[in-house]
Structure formats: structure tokens, C-alpha cells
Amino acid sequence: MRGLSPFEKVILPCCYFPNIDWILAAANADEVFIEKHENFSKQTYRNRMRILSANGVQDLILPVLNKNSKEGITQMQVNHDENWAWNHWHSVKSAYGKSPYFEYYEHHFEAFFRSAENWNLWQINLNSIQLSFNLLKLDLDVEFTKEFKAEYGVNGDLRKQFKPSKHPQLFHQEKYLQVFADRFDFKPNLSVLDLLFNLGPQSLAYILKQELNPYH
């Protein structure tokens, strides 16, 4: 996306409406790969996104059926009996209904959650990523890994980077005005939904301004 990208190649996990750091990593690479052959990992963003609600930061978790950690990520099924799609959409509306750009994007997300009731985890994640790229107007050519490798020998192997409880942010994230700013300090690195609903069409310009943290 820029003249000189921090990463020649990034290998990213397939996540559910990825956090802003994930999006920034993809936008700052010459080549973008999504890991297709890993096993499912618990306690990661592979089946959750993080939003800002009236009560603070909230995790929206996809309830998976086959919780065996040795199960391939593309084979993971979601428990649709838990009515998760309606619950997640209701939570998103409650959190962002009064944000500046909720009405601008609402129909896209409502359609997503209606369709997602028939998808497995891999399909939910891929479609959430594609929708995010489309709404951001982020034009990226994404490829998939052809086999699993424990190590790729590149500084952009970020498959273990994005965990809710671990790892500092790869990128500095400038503050922007969030919903409930009167209640909470700025919360960085939420789901890309937070960026879209608060900044709308300015989201792409925001993404292209952020710089890699110096520790990396």
C-alpha cells in the first residue's frame, strides 16, 4: 500500500472481523497470506471479535462445536443452535447504533449476520475479512498457504501475534473519537468494526497513516 512496506510478506491467522492491528499488518505488506492449514487455537481472535459497548470492552465469541485443538481450522463448525448471529448483531447494534456511521454500513452487517447462520467458522471469518476490506476500500490480493509450516523464516509470520491476552501492538494507533468517549479512555486495537462505525470513509486514510511500533 505504501512505497516502502514494513513487511515483504505477512502470514496471518484467519480471524473474525479482525482487530485493527491485523488490518494494519495486511495493509503494510507486499504479499498477504492467510494460514489455511493450521489447527484451531483456543483463546484467540479466530473465533472472537472485540468491540466497545456501553459497559466497556466486550468480546463476541463464536461458539464452536468441535473444540479439539487438533481440528483443522477449515473444519471447525459453529453451534448455530445458540443463536449467536442474532446475539452478535444485537450487541453490535447496541454498541454502535449511535455512532456516526452506523446507518451508513448497517445494511451490510445485517446481511452478513443473516447469511452467517449457514456458515462454518472458516466461512464466517473469510467473509468477515472480505467485507471489512470492501468497506474500507482496501484493495489487497490475498493468498492462502498451501501447507502448514511451523516456521516460515520471515519477520511477517504473525500467526501467533494476535491474542486477546498477549503480545503488544505491532502498530501505533492514533486516538480517534469512539462511542462512549464520555465514559472510557480511548481503547485501541478493537475490531475493525469500531474503526468503520466511528470513522466511516476516513478509515482507510487512518490505516495508511499508522506506523510500525519501533520495538518490532
pLDDT at 166: 74
pLDDT at 168: 85
Altogether, the residues listed in the chain come to a count of 216
71-111 pLDDT, tens digit per residue, is 799 999 999 999 999 999 999 999 999 999 999 999 999 99
pLDDT at 215: 62
Question: Is residue 159 a contact partner of residue 38, using CB atoms and an 8 Å limit?
Answer: yes
| Element housing 161 (H / E) | none
User: Is residue 168 exposed (0-12), middle (13-18) or buried (19+ Cβ within 10 Å)?
Assistant: exposed
Give me the residue spans of the domains in the chain.
16-209
7-53 pLDDT, tens digit per residue, is 999 999 999 999 999 999 999 999 999 999 999 988 899 999 999 99
